[in-house]
C-alpha cells in the first residue's frame, strides 16, 4: 500500500509540475526549471543583453555584444605545422587610406604601398597534378558563394549585381593577368577600390585557394599538367608560407 501511495503521489506531483510549466504564449517553450544549468552563461554574439528573460538593463542596452577578437589573436587551427604557419596573421598591413575608404578605423595601418610589395608574394599552397582537381573544386565553391555575384561566373566582371546596375567597374580577370598572386590575395583580404575586404569571412587558406581558382580565369591553361607532371604554367610555392 505504501508503494502504491508513493507512486500515486509522484504521478500527482509530476502532473502538477507539467501543467505549471505550460504558458499561454504560443511562441514560448514554457517555464524552465533551473535554466542556468543548461543555458550558456558565455557572451553570445547578436544578443541584446539589455533585454533578456523579461528584464531590461538600460546601462548595457545599446552595447554591441559581437566584438572582434583582440589584435594579434591567433585562432587554433590544429597541430599541423604547415597549416599553423599558413594561418598566422597576415604580415602585410592595409594602407592608411583604407581607414576612410574601407572603414578600417582602429586597425594597424601603414603609409607604405603594401599592395605593390605584395607583387613578390607567391601562393604558399602548391598546386600539383594530384591536388589540382580538389583545389579547383573548393575554389569554385568559395567563388560561387563570395565572388560570383559581382565578378560573374566566368570572371568577366558581369555578375548579377553588375547586370542589375547595383555596381559598376568590376574588372575582367583576363585583363589582370599581370598582377601577382600576393596582390590577388591582398585584394581579397583587405579589399581594393570599391570591393570590400573578405578577411572576416574567409581564412587565409581559403583566400589562397581562391587565388588558384582566379588564375584559371586569367589563363585557361593554368593548373594543367603535362605527361611528365610539369605544369603548363609555372607554379611556385613560397617556402616560408607566412605571407
Q: Is the pLDDT of residue 29 over 70?
A: no
Specify whether the CB–CB gap between 174 and 218 falls below 8 A. yes
DSSP SS3 for 133 = helix
Compute the distance between CA of residue 110 and CA of residue 98 in angstroms, rounded to an integer: 10
Q: Is the pLDDT of residue 233 over 70?
A: yes
pLDDT confidence band for 239 (50 / 70 / 90): very low
Catalogue all structural domains in the chain, each as residue range(s) with its CATH number: 2-60 (no CATH), 81-218 (1.10.760.10)
CB-based burial of residue 185 (10 Å sphere; 0-12 exposed, 13-18 middle, 19+ buried)?
buried
DSSP secondary structure string for all residues of 82-125: HHHHHTSPPSPPEETTHHHHS--TTS-EESS-HHHHGGG---SS
**Cβ atoms within 10 Å, residue 63:** 11
CA angle 79, 82, 85 (to 5 degrees): 90
CB-based burial of residue 129 (10 Å sphere; 0-12 exposed, 13-18 middle, 19+ buried)?
middle
Determine what percent of the chain is predicted with pLDDT higher than 90: 51
Compute the distance between CA of residue 13 and CA of residue 34 in angstroms, rounded to an integer: 18
Predicted confidence (pLDDT) per residue in 62-92, tens digit = 776 667 777 777 788 899 999 999 998 899 9
Q: What's the whole-number mean pLDDT along residues 191-206?
A: 94
Compute the distance between CA of residue 101 and CA of residue 37 in angstroms, rounded to an integer: 46
Predicted confidence (pLDDT) per residue in 31-72, tens digit = 666 666 666 666 566 666 666 667 777 777 777 666 777 777
Higher pLDDT, 81 or 5: 81
Gap between the terminal Cα atoms of the chain: 79
Compute the distance between CA of residue 176 and CA of residue 243 in angstroms, rounded to an integer: 21
Predicted confidence (pLDDT) per residue in 83-131, tens digit = 999 998 899 999 999 999 999 988 899 999 999 999 999 999 999 999 9
- Name the pTM for this structure: 0.70
Amino acid at each position: 500500500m505504501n508503494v502504491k501511495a508513493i507512486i500515486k503521489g509522484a504521478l500527482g506531483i509530476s502532473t502538477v509540475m507539467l501543467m505549471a510549466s505550460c504558458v499561454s504564449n504560443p511562441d514560448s517553450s514554457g517555464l524552465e526549471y533551473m535554466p542556468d544549468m543548461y543555458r550558456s552563461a558565455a557572451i553570445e554574439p547578436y544578443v541584446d543583453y539589455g533585454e533578456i528573460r523579461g528584464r531590461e538593463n538600460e546601462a548595457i542596452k545599446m552595447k554591441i555584444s559581437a566584438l572582434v577578437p583582440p589584435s594579434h589573436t591567433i585562432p587554433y587551427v590544429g597541430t599541423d605545422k604547415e597549416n599553423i604557419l599558413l594561418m598566422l596573421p597576415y604580415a602585410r598591413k592595409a594602407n592608411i587610406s583604407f581607414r576612410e575608404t574601407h572603414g578600417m578605423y582602429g586597425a594597424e595601418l601603414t603609409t607604405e604601398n603594401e599592395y605593390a610589395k605584395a607583387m613578390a608574394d607567391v601562393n604558399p599552397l602548391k598546386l600539383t597534378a594530384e591536388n589540382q582537381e580538389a583545389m579547383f573544386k573548393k575554389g569554385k565553391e568559395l567563388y560561387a558563394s563570395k565572388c560570383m555575384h559581382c565578378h560573374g561566373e566566368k570572371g568577366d566582371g558581369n555578375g548579377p549585381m553588375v547586370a542589375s546596375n547595383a555596381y559598376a567597374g568590376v574588372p575582367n580577370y583576363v585583363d589582370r593577368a599581370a598582377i601577382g598572386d600576393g596582390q590577388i590575395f591582398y585584394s581579397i583580404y583587405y579589399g581594393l577600390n570599391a570591393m570590400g575586404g573578405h578577411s572576416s569571412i574567409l581564412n587565409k587558406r581559403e583566400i589562397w585557394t581562391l587565388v588558384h581558382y582566379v588564375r584559371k580565369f586569367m589563363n585557361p591553361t593554368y593548373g594543367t599538367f603535362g605527361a611528365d607532371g610539369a605544369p603548363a604554367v609555372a607554379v611556385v610555392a613560397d617556402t616560408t608560407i607566412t605571407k
